[in-house]
Amino acid sequence: MKIYVTGRPGVGKTTVVFKAIDILRKHGLKIGGIFCPEVRGSSGYRVGFKIVNLLDHSEGWLARKNVQLRGPRIGKYVVIVNDAIVVGVKALKDAREKADVIIIDEVGPMELRVSELRREIVSSLKSSKHIIAVVHYRLRDFEIMNILRGYLRYEVTLANRSILPKIIADKILLEIKR
């Protein structure tokens, strides 16, 4: 089962996926992949994004606000290429090898600016594993959009975000039972 969720920023895409993960874990499934949560500073403003390996919980910086840093820029943020490779590439390779379900949060501009991480995202999306991906609502990557044509798509809205985790988890659990 291959599923992706999309929707406007702040609507709850990642929350939907994490609630689905909780359901899947309660059924004994091993979850791997990447999670890229925002990080807020002491003043409450966003300072960047981490990248976390869902299997071993290792983490690094995906992107940070800092004019002194070197690397690809996405708006106010600089992508931390080394951390994206060390944490993200390993997380996706490990997930393809060891997990029952691969999570990719998210397929977006920061993640795709690192060629090694982009390659692993594409390999994971093409893999035979069950996948739940969060896809940036403005993604215009032809190769990835072509892969996603074969996926079940859910747009997260305020109206459906409370019921989607169970719908998504049930789809995967039903496919596993087949």
SS3 20: helix
Asked if the structure places residue 17 within a domain, the reply is yes
The pLDDT value recorded for residue 72 is: 92
First to last CA, the chain: 11
Asked if the structure places residue 117 within a domain, the reply is yes
The pLDDT value recorded for residue 70 is: 85
Asked if the structure places residue 142 within a domain, the reply is yes
Asked if the structure places residue 49 within a domain, the reply is no
Burial of 167 (0-12, 13-18, 19+ CB in 10 A): middle
| Number of domains observed in the structure of the chain | 1
Write the pLDDT tens digit of every residue in 26-72.
999 999 999 999 999 999 999 999 999 999 999 999 999 986 888 89
The pLDDT value recorded for residue 178 is: 79
What's the CATH code of the domain at 115?
A: 3.40.50.300
Asked if the structure places residue 69 within a domain, the reply is no
Percentage, residues of the chain above pLDDT 70: 99
The pLDDT value recorded for residue 68 is: 80
List the beta strands (DSSP E) in 25-151.
Answer: 31-35, 38-40, 46-53, 59-65, 73-74, 77-79, 101-107, 130-135
How many angstroms separate the CA atoms of 5 and 31, rounded? 17
Cis-peptide into 111, omega within 30 deg: no
Task: Find tokens 């004994």 and name the residue.
Answer: 28
**Stretch 150-162: mean pLDDT, rounded?**
97
Mean pLDDT of the residues in the chain: 95
For residue 124, pLDDT beyond 80: yes
> Residue 170 sits in which domain range?
2-36+82-177
The pLDDT value recorded for residue 149 is: 96
The pLDDT value recorded for residue 117 is: 98
